[in-house]
Structure 1
């Protein structure tokens, strides 16, 4: 669901941008290519996230099949081999991770992104933010929106704190992981919000469960990436404060997580397919 949401979102951004182009003129295809290149960072996010989620899913499928998953008579063996190349071609995931922050910073320098003013504001307000709590306030997915706001603030705070250390590939790749997790979670939440009002009660339950699982997994990976980023950047002077901020701002309540996973498993079993 999260991978689909990322792909749909990036495709939608590209479609919207291309729709603004004048189809006339001999330079149309040059302008077409430049318009696509404006979203190179989003495409890199989609490539990295989806290829790694594919590897996880296929690895689980092989594990479920046991020894049969490892022999050519079963299709899952082919899936396992085919999935591995996805992290290599069209730019390795390591190269794409380096590109993501680089392209975002380049976009900010060109005036296409209000980044540094947001970084300054985040550093001022970081300690004032509260951990996401399970208080919906009458709005579906309010908890996840609160988590996203915290994750964005923490990313901006870290981006400002690392300074010149972002020239290090290790720090750059950790920053990329933070961006990827934010984009993936936000894409899933936005998609769920869009389809939720018209969904049946059964599908609404599946959507709530899906968002719960996605938020838990993405916030956990975000926490690890934020910890790596601060460690690689050598932010010793801020160590105690950063540790507390990372813990607080990447926190997501785990209550109901197992029930959510069981509901999704039962829904897939009942329908005999992916239900969303």
Structure 2
């Protein structure tokens, strides 16, 4: 899709119909991107996967060693401009590297994400030219490692409430930073911290680049004892009158909260990418075990209960891939458009990602939860062996759990997605109230009794998607009208609305990917992808029906409630229900015959 003035904006999917030819899918990777993917996979299979057991023994030196090797191969600098010794690759390619380098163990996924994302990106995007020249080449090549010091004992989701202080010295040449930071990934072996502190009584925190010098008032706590990511170095960091040159302020004074939030937007979509290959590897292990494990003289992969699990695991990661790379390309196109409009590369990337912050939050929630479910089902397929630390499922399950907390908890991201959509609507960036009012008018009108034409591929599924969007507009529009600015105080209602929004985006992404590929390769060649798209939509309809009902009966009463519940029934009713068992069997046949996830 070429960059153009009328390209889709973030969040706009909920009020428009996206065409299959306008989305980017994993099948659209360029030859260069495929080569990069294969290089990363080869590195992981050689250097990380065979040492999986070692990563469970809290071998922090091994993590540092692997990270240095990744730096030597250029993997740490994929998002860094070439003038700072990076590869300067496009946004989709940076997602691709994050995806495939993160699958073998959560310890490397965390170290990589913390270093390349929140440890390096803030300097790339907000640093002065002098700061970038001094620090970025070292970070891009793995000579140095970065860490990010934002969270404090009393400042987690409320990041701007941090108590760490920065006081200007009498000579005006340094700030003295004092405070405590916790859950700092890479703290044990990093060379540089991005630290957020408050200057005097400023309203907002300020970012600083702080070199790690233990003789400069910096001390580290012991390595944290964690449920998972055992070889990821996680420590508290204490600052006591740590002197930082005034020229090491990152961005502008009072601008730290903005830096933190924009870094999190990028971190959220990259975290989704980091959960993809982890799922593929779990499926591969699970299907191989299911094909080999014989009970009652039959491989357990032949049993319907196991086939159902494998089909749904495959469908989830197929959907997650579709949605993640769809959003990544949207961001990339927006970045290109802004560059063509005269923005600097840094400003273009900041605004490009910010434009799709809603999708970033959606992906963070959906993919991290799919990864958790995938590992849980992986354990179940292995049965008693899955509970053993001698199999890969146990550590995969533990490593997956942190993803629902990183980069803002899933609860925070759920509420953010709806909140950001409402703000975009109020700014006129999305025509939300018009479609919402149209749905309200439709509820009081006479429904059409025309027989739809469902002769084309996905015609009924597309019609269903449009009806599901009406459900979101009905529930969120009525809630916004009733509560106004106080809507954010009704968190459970926001969570229900967010789940509807998430289900629509994910199901639509799967549908568009399958449709695009079927148009290129033919329906018969893509029958498994078609089955996954139909299964994912069915799952979305069921969940949306539940969440919308929960929302409606929580704030609507009397005739209004009856009318909305009738509308919900109309908007979630198939004319021809899919045979869900048949769909699962089509998918399971492919996965078990290939003995791998192969899409």
Q: Shared topology, TM-score over 0.5?
A: yes
Matched, 1:38 2:372: no
Residue 166 of structure 1: aligned partner: 487
Residue 214 of structure 1: aligned partner: 536
| Structure 1 range deviating more: 137-146 or 201-210 | 201-210
Supply the distance in 2 between the matched residues of 1:191 and 1:159 (Cα, whole angstroms).
27
CA drift of 1:246 comes to 1.4
Residue 548 of structure 2: aligned partner: 226
Give the alignment partner of residue 511 of structure 2, picking from 189, 194, 216: 189
CA drift of 1:23 comes to 7.3
Supply the distance in 2 between the matched residues of 1:271 and 1:119 (Cα, whole angstroms).
46
Quick one: structure 1 residues 65 and 201, their matched pair in 2 at CA, closer, same or farther if it must change by over 3 Å?
same
Give yes or no for contact 1:170–1:232 (8 Å, CA) kept in 2. Answer: no
Give the alignment partner of residue 241 of structure 1, picking from 554, 560, 563: 563
- Superposed counterparts of 1:69-88, under 5 Å: 69-88=386-405
Q: Give the unaligned 5+ runs of structure 1.
A: none
RMSD of Structure 2 on Structure 1 (CA): 2.3
Matched, 1:117 2:439: no
| Structure 1 range deviating more: 60-69 or 197-206 | 197-206
Give SS of 1:21's match: helix
1:246-275 alpha-carbon deviations (Å, 9 max, x no partner): 122112343422111111111111111223
| Structure 1 range deviating more: 85-94 or 20-29 | 20-29
1:174-212 alpha-carbon deviations (Å, 9 max, x no partner): 111111111111111111111102325653221221122
Matched, 1:20 2:304: no
Supply the distance in 2 between the matched residues of 1:250 and 1:177 (Cα, whole angstroms).
15
Give yes or no for contact 2:335–2:351 (8 Å, CA) kept in 1. Answer: no
Residue 596 of structure 2: aligned partner: 273
Give SS of 2:428's match: coil
CA drift of 1:129 comes to 5.2
CA drift of 1:96 comes to 0.1
Quick one: structure 1 residues 79 and 203, their matched pair in 2 at CA, closer, same or farther if it must change by over 3 Å?
farther
Residue 377 of structure 2: aligned partner: 60
Give yes or no for contact 2:534–2:578 (8 Å, CA) kept in 1. Answer: no
1:24-53 alpha-carbon deviations (Å, 9 max, x no partner): 989541342122111111100011111111
Give SS of 2:520's match: coil
Name segments (4+ residues, structure 1) moved above 6 Å. 23-26
Number of residue-to-residue matches in the alignment: 275
Residue 462 of structure 2: aligned partner: 145
Residue 577 of structure 2: aligned partner: 254
Supply the distance in 1 between the matched residues of 2:569 and 2:399 (Cα, whole angstroms).
37
Give yes or no for contact 1:181–1:222 (8 Å, CA) kept in 2. Answer: yes
**Larger C-alpha radius of gyration, 1 or 2?**
2
Higher share in helix = 1
Supply the distance in 2 between the matched residues of 1:199 and 1:150 (Cα, whole angstroms).
29
Supply the distance in 2 between the matched residues of 1:212 and 1:102 (Cα, whole angstroms).
29
Quick one: structure 1 residues 26 and 224, their matched pair in 2 at CA, closer, same or farther if it must change by over 3 Å?
closer
Residue 198 of structure 1: aligned partner: 520
CA drift of 1:88 comes to 0.6
| Structure 1 range deviating more: 218-227 or 234-243 | 234-243
Q: TM-score, structure 1 length as denominator?
A: 0.92
Give SS of 2:339's match: coil
Quick one: structure 1 residues 213 and 130, their matched pair in 2 at CA, closer, same or farther if it must change by over 3 Å?
farther
Q: Give the unaligned 5+ runs of structure 2.
A: 1-317
1:133-161 alpha-carbon deviations (Å, 9 max, x no partner): 9x663210011101011111121122222
Structure scoring higher RCO (CA < 8 A, sep ≥ 6) equals 1
